[in-house]
Amino acid sequence: MPSHVCPCFFGSRVTDSDDSADRDPVVLVSGMGYTEELDKNSEIVVPDDDYGLYAIDILDPSLFVKCINLTDVYHFHEMINMLVDCGYKKGTTLFGYGYDFRQSNRIDKLMDGLKAKLETAYKASGGRQINLISHSMGGVLVKCFMVLYPDTFSKYVNKWICIACPFQGAPGYINDALLTGVQFIEGFESYFFVKRWTMHQLVVECPSVYEMLPNPIFNWKEVPKICVWRKVSSDKDDSSTAKLISYDPLESINLFEEALRDNELNYNGKMVSLPFNHAILKWAAGTRELLNKAKLPGGVSFYNIYGTSFETPFDVCYGSETSPVDDLSEICHSSPEYSFVDGDETVPAESAQADGFDAVERVGVAENHRGLLQNDTVFELIQTWLGVSSPKHTKSSRTAKVMDAAVL
């Protein structure tokens, strides 16, 4: 049976195109990849099979998943097929880059890996500049690379097409992930994804998650908040009342600290303390500072696709007026209530649009976060921007969505 996976991560197709070499190479950058176990005697790495495409193709490439055509665990699968149909050839003009989604988006290991992938694509294509296509947190990684290695970026990159990137964070999703975890999907398909509490224990130690906390200096239309109904005792008698307390992005740090102070993980009978990690927060603040000063190098064309028309968590609230929270540690075992804004169910459109660059085009598409990787309108945009076509490409069990009228 398939193993549990996290959804930010076979098949080959052939093409009759004779002009596959006449393409600027494409490198697909995922928001998912290498993972590592607590067991020091074992190691899990991102496979580089199929020129890096295997690791970002299907979340669970088991025979069972492929037999029942479970598209919910598809990642770049349909996009890879579309690009192959357009004449791109794996290993010559088409490559993938997956990485450890838990680690910081600016650590040397990930930066060196992306640099090596760009060098490989550049040489394999005969010295042609590369068109990057990133999804989700992969866009944060690319932006970090661009700031840290601007000359390398300018040398190798021609166009950067960014899809569903949380440029200014994903407030509701990330705030709640740190406090209660994340349940990516309900029903039968949830079997293939990490469970909510397991994910919670994982993300508390993930630098990348801290790096996607809402940007406290971004000029939000409405500042994202965490709200808690607190039990307040009366000084006059033994009665108590409920008071709604709000925390902005900076004030939320104290809330995380209090709520997670007793957080523990049971690993093989041993309790491992997992409180809010201030060292990771400090590192993430450095990443945010880096991202805030990013500038697009001259000669590089930038395109932004963001999801719209889906309710996306923004503010999150714990407790209620009739059932207030007494101790903040209770939040970790409670159910959140969200207020929503427009977006792709994960990243608010406001955040995804706020790249800070002079984009050639910035387009909203009515689709959810991972659905953008399988969307016909997105494929049409990519083909237009790359200057290619794929008349024969058809997707499995998907219907086209209508592009948002707002094209910025």
What is residue 282's predicted lDDT score, i.e. its pLDDT? Answer: 98
The residues facing 229 across adjacent strands are: 244
What is residue 129's predicted lDDT score, i.e. its pLDDT? Answer: 98
Crossing angle of helices 376-386 and 77-85, in 10° steps, is 40
Q: What whole-number distance in Å separates Cα of residue 158 and Cα of residue 177? A: 35
In the residue annotation, 369 being an active-site residue is answered as yes
Question: Greater confidence, 82 or 63?
Answer: 82
Indicate the Cα dihedral angle 47, 92, 383, 147, nearest 10°.
Answer: 70
User: For 243-272, what is the mean pLDDT?
Assistant: 93
Question: Greater confidence, 2 or 386?
Answer: 386
What is residue 404's predicted lDDT score, i.e. its pLDDT? Answer: 38
In the residue annotation, 278 being an active-site residue is answered as no
CB 321 within 8 A of CB 229: yes
Is residue 398 pLDDT above 50, yes or no?
A: no
Q: What whole-number distance in Å separates Cα of residue 66 and Cα of residue 58? A: 9
The DSSP 8-state label assigned to residue 74 in this structure reads B
What residue type is assigned to position 311 of the chain? E
What is residue 50's predicted lDDT score, i.e. its pLDDT? Answer: 93
Q: What whole-number distance in Å separates Cα of residue 305 and Cα of residue 210? A: 24
How many CA within 13 A on the CB side of residue 29?
30
What is residue 100's predicted lDDT score, i.e. its pLDDT? Answer: 81
Q: What is the CA radius of gyration of the chain?
A: 22
pLDDT in tens, 139-187: 999 999 999 999 999 999 999 999 999 999 999 999 999 999 865 555 5
pLDDT in tens, 206-251: 999 999 999 999 999 999 999 999 999 876 666 789 999 999 999 9
H/E element, 155: helix 150-156
CB 260 within 8 A of CB 204: yes
In the residue annotation, 344 being an active-site residue is answered as yes
pTM: 0.86
- List helix spans (H) across 157-310: 171-180, 196-203, 207-211, 252-259, 278-292
What is residue 7's predicted lDDT score, i.e. its pLDDT? Answer: 40
* Mode of pairing for the β-strands spanning 26-29 and 94-97: parallel
What confidence category does residue 196 fall into, taking pLDDT thresholds of 50, 70 and 90? low
User: For 88-94, what is the mean pLDDT?
Assistant: 97
- Among residues 163, 211, 129, 159, the alpha carbon closest in space to that of 56 is found at 163
Task: For residue 324, give Cα distances in angstroms to 146, 173, 232.
Answer: 46, 22, 9
Q: What whole-number distance in Å separates Cα of residue 302 and Cα of residue 95? A: 19
What confidence category does residue 72 fall into, taking pLDDT thresholds of 50, 70 and 90? low
Is residue 366 pLDDT above 60, yes or no?
A: yes
pLDDT in tens, 327-348: 999 999 899 999 999 999 999 9
Backbone angles phi, psi at 170, to 5 degrees: -130, 80
Q: What is the distance between the terminal CA atoms of the chain, rounded to a whole angstrom?
A: 45
Q: Where are the domains of the chain?
A: 26-215+270-310+342-407
Strands of the sheet with 403-407, listed across from one edge: 94-97, 26-29, 130-135, 157-163, 301-308, 361-366, 403-407
* pLDDT-above-90 percentage for the chain: 66
Write down how long the chain is. 408
Choice among 125, 136, 309, 390 that is catalytic:
136
**Topology of 26-215+270-310+342-407 in CATH?**
Rossmann fold (3.40.50)
- What is 366-385 written as a DSSP string? E--TTGGGG-HHHHHHHHHH
Choice among 50, 57, 176, 344 that is catalytic:
344
What is residue 402's predicted lDDT score, i.e. its pLDDT? Answer: 32
Q: Lowest mean pLDDT: which of 1-5, 120-124, 398-402?
A: 398-402
- Among residues 360, 367, 347, the alpha carbon closest in space to that of 136 is found at 347
pLDDT in tens, 296-320: 999 999 999 999 999 999 999 999 9
What is residue 38's predicted lDDT score, i.e. its pLDDT? Answer: 46
What residue type is assigned to position 216 of the chain? P
- List helix spans (H) across 189-333: 196-203, 207-211, 252-259, 278-292
What confidence category does residue 102 fall into, taking pLDDT thresholds of 50, 70 and 90? confident
pLDDT in tens, 348-357: 999 999 999 9
Choice among 60, 369, 390, 404 that is catalytic:
369
- Phi and psi based region of residue 83 (left: phi greater than 0; alpha: psi -120 to 50; beta: remaining): alpha
What is residue 15's predicted lDDT score, i.e. its pLDDT? Answer: 38
